[in-house]
Structure 1
């Protein structure tokens, strides 16, 4: 009889632990998941702007690729440009709001080093829609200049 009660007690503990995990997962709202950069992103193209309107657009291809990886607080990106042998990458912290992305780079490739030494904070307008996002460079007058457009790949 003691064996029976011990077995039932262990089974109840296992079932209750499993239910707690299921509840934890449900606590993350779909809206919160949508407004997150956490993951791996591939640049699919970019827009140039003139007078705050898209003036032309370019798609990424096998010769020019860029990947960004966001953890909950860190960003790392790398760019492949098969046309030349220049290395491009950067690493640092980031913060987002509903409409802004600010990356504070700690270090980067030799090509990025002069930009990081001059100003290591890069601010963008952010448009985030689930599995796509655009980071838009804004000039000193508040006008859009260039947008990098990404899709989530993981």
Structure 2
């Protein structure tokens, strides 16, 4: 009889210890690690490799840069500088300022530039672009006042 009571007691303890523990979805999310893809960091040097023209927010034309000219952009954590080399054009093209990149939007605020660019900066210092990224590349897309895509400058990472 003692063995029977001992056996039932052990079975009862075993069954109660195997009780299924249910957690709320909130508690489960606290212990899980959610992995979000990190956006491409712009830090580094980029070279302009081509352009897209848009109509109704779709690419309708694309072309590569002229092999005789080059345009580079350099980003640090907060600063941007770009320069354009066109041997057939005697004017200089460069600009320097700050930038912010978040929520697929790039905002550049230029402080100064070449003589030609300073004339542009006198009328407009801030430039906003939609940005689409890929591995070691990005598209800087100009939008019209209604948010429609007009054209893009397409860059490839140099360093």
TM-score band, normalised by the shorter chain? 0.7 to 0.9
1:95 maps to 100
Q: Which residues in structure 2 correspond to 1:37-48 (within 5 Å)?
A: 37-48=42-53
Q: Report the Cα distance in structure 1 between the residues aligned to 2:86 and 2:96, rounded to whole angstroms.
A: 18
1:123 maps to 128
Give the aligned length: 125
1:8 maps to none
Q: Report the Cα distance in structure 2 between the residues aligned to 1:112 and 1:82, rounded to whole angstroms.
A: 17
What SS does the corresponding residue of 2:121 show, helix, strand or coil?
Answer: helix
Residue 130 of structure 1: how far off its partner (Å): 3.2
What SS does the corresponding residue of 1:55 show, helix, strand or coil?
Answer: strand
Out of 130, 133, 141, which is 1:136 matched to? Answer: 141
1:114 aligns with 2:119: yes
Q: Which runs of 4+ in 1 moved over 6 A?
A: none
Larger Rg belongs to: 2
Out of 43, 47, 59, which is 1:54 matched to? Answer: 59
Q: Report the Cα distance in structure 2 between the residues aligned to 1:98 and 1:36, rounded to whole angstroms.
A: 13
Residue 98 of structure 1: how far off its partner (Å): 3.1
- Give 5+ residue unaligned stretches, structure 2: 1-34
Q: Which residues in structure 2 correspond to 1:7-26 (within 5 Å)?
A: none
Residue 30 of structure 1: how far off its partner (Å): 10
TM-align CA RMSD: 1.7
Q: Report the Cα distance in structure 1 between the residues aligned to 2:86 and 2:60, rounded to whole angstroms.
A: 23
| TM-score relative to the length of structure 2 | 0.73
1:148 maps to 153
